[in-house]
Amino acid sequence: MPADPLVTMGEGDTPLVPAPRLSELTGADVWLKLEGANPTGSFKDRGMTVAVSAAIAEGAEAIVCASTGNTAASAAAYAARAGLRGAVIVPEGKIATGKLAQALMHGARVIALRGNFDEALALVRELARRHPIALVNSVNDFRIEGQKTGAFEVCDEFGEAPDVLCIPVGNAGNVTSWWKGFQEYGEAPRLHGYQAEGAAPLVQGAPVESPETVASAIRIGNPARWEDAMNAFTSSRGEVRAVSDAEILDAYSLLGAREGVFCEPASAASVAGLLKYGAEGRVVCVLTGHGLKDPQTAMNRAGSVVPCEPDIGSVEEAVLG
């Protein structure tokens, strides 16, 4: 019997690094899980390798997803590698430049929907019902199976779970995955999920019709994994809370300037939540995507460059002045 098809690019095994400045600020023992080190720069690859391999096994010729950007980049890359057609539907004008460049470079058909993520997801679900196309959003259980490996890695590295896991929440697939991983490992850390204030349906207990946040990756008003996520927060004696865009951007800048870690704004929500609400013991913040995904937000936020004439006096002044 031939082996199961495997479409892989070396996902996972991402760095888990201590965060001395954050530890100092919070009094907790804070660690960062750098998911931006995955092949396409986000945690989505952990699940996409499984979902696309399964799609091949099932004989699919094409894959499709709705996305705020990272799922699109990942799906496009794995489709390219697998020789499948890929189509991604993204909210028009609302995804970060790097993610759009990735999806286009990998040859996916990129469809800019005049609507938001929630509308896009409803439409691709209908599309996948009507046509033999594999849907690779996290409503696909194979995605969850792949993404749970983040929890295995953290437990392997510490020899046990941390006390608290801080994680940004959008469509709620990832927190569902981590909780499944911890449970299968026989562990139960507290899960602290954070949503952006303008896109916080789980915190408010009701869908948000027009979600808005600078953290475009988690600009989602009606998470598909709503119940799974709430179950994870309840069962782990954790919590789901909101952080403002200003708090997200402060954490984003702090990570870059004081920890040397460049993540995207949505990822910084995990640290913003930790700083705002606190946590005790050993804490892992999941930094879900790389900062290079969203150069525009970085440039809007960061300091300006120093112009300089090409002579030593000017250079001395520029460097030391």
Distance of CA 53 to the CA centre of its chain: 21
270 binds ligand F0G (CB under 6 A): no
Q: Which of 128, 125, 133, 165 is closest to 148 using CA atoms?
A: 165
Binding mask 193-232 for ligand F0G (x = CB under 6 A): ------------------------xx--------------
**Binding residues for ligand F0G, how many (CB under 6 A)?**
22
Secondary structure (3-state) at 89:
strand
Task: Report how far residue 63's alpha carbon sits from residue 152's, in angstroms, rounded to the nearest whole number.
Answer: 28
53 binds ligand F0G (CB under 6 A): no
Nearer to ligand F0G, 28 or 175 (CB): 175
Strands (E) in the chain, as ranges, are: 16-18, 29-34, 62-66, 85-91, 109-113, 134-135, 164-168, 190-196, 239-243, 282-287
Retrieve residue 139's tokens. Answer: 């409503």
Query: Shortest approach of ligand F0G to residue 248 CB, angstroms?
Result: 11
Which residue of 68, 140, 213, 222 would you call a contact of ligand F0G, by CB under 6 A? Answer: 68
DSSP string, 27-65: SSEEEEEEGGGSTTSBTHHHHHHHHHHHHHHTT-SEEEE
The window from 68-76, 197-205, 250-258, 304-312 that contacts ligand F0G (CB under 6 A) reads: 68-76
Task: Report how far residue 284's alpha carbon sits from residue 17's, in angstroms, rounded to the nearest whole number.
Answer: 9
297 binds ligand F0G (CB under 6 A): no
Task: Report how far residue 245's alpha carbon sits from residue 305's, in angstroms, rounded to the nearest whole number.
Answer: 25
Which residue of 221, 264, 274, 282 would you call a contact of ligand F0G, by CB under 6 A? Answer: 264
Query: Shortest approach of ligand F0G to residue 240 CB, angstroms?
Result: 11
Asked if 74 and 40 touch (Cβ cutoff 8 Å), the reply is yes
Taking only Cα atoms into account, the Rg of the chain, rounded to an integer number of angstroms, comes to: 20
Q: Binders of ligand F0G among 276-295, rule CB under 6 A?
A: 288-289
Nearer to ligand F0G, 42 or 53 (CB): 42
Nearer to ligand F0G, 28 or 232 (CB): 232
The window from 6-14, 150-158, 260-268, 275-283 that contacts ligand F0G (CB under 6 A) reads: 260-268
Task: Report how far residue 222's alpha carbon sits from residue 122's, in angstroms, rounded to the nearest whole number.
Answer: 10
Partner residues linked to 34 by β-bridges: 287
Which residue of 69, 86, 211, 291 would you call a contact of ligand F0G, by CB under 6 A? Answer: 69
Query: Shortest approach of ligand F0G to residue 309 CB, angstroms?
Result: 41
273 binds ligand F0G (CB under 6 A): no
Asked if 285 and 31 touch (Cβ cutoff 8 Å), the reply is yes
Query: Shortest approach of ligand F0G to residue 125 CB, angstroms?
Result: 14
- Give the pairing type, strands 85-91 and 134-135: unpaired
Binding mask 131-170 for ligand F0G (x = CB under 6 A): -------x-----------------------------xxx
List interacting residues with ligand F0G (CB under 6 A): 42, 67-71, 138, 168-175, 217-218, 264, 266-267, 288-289
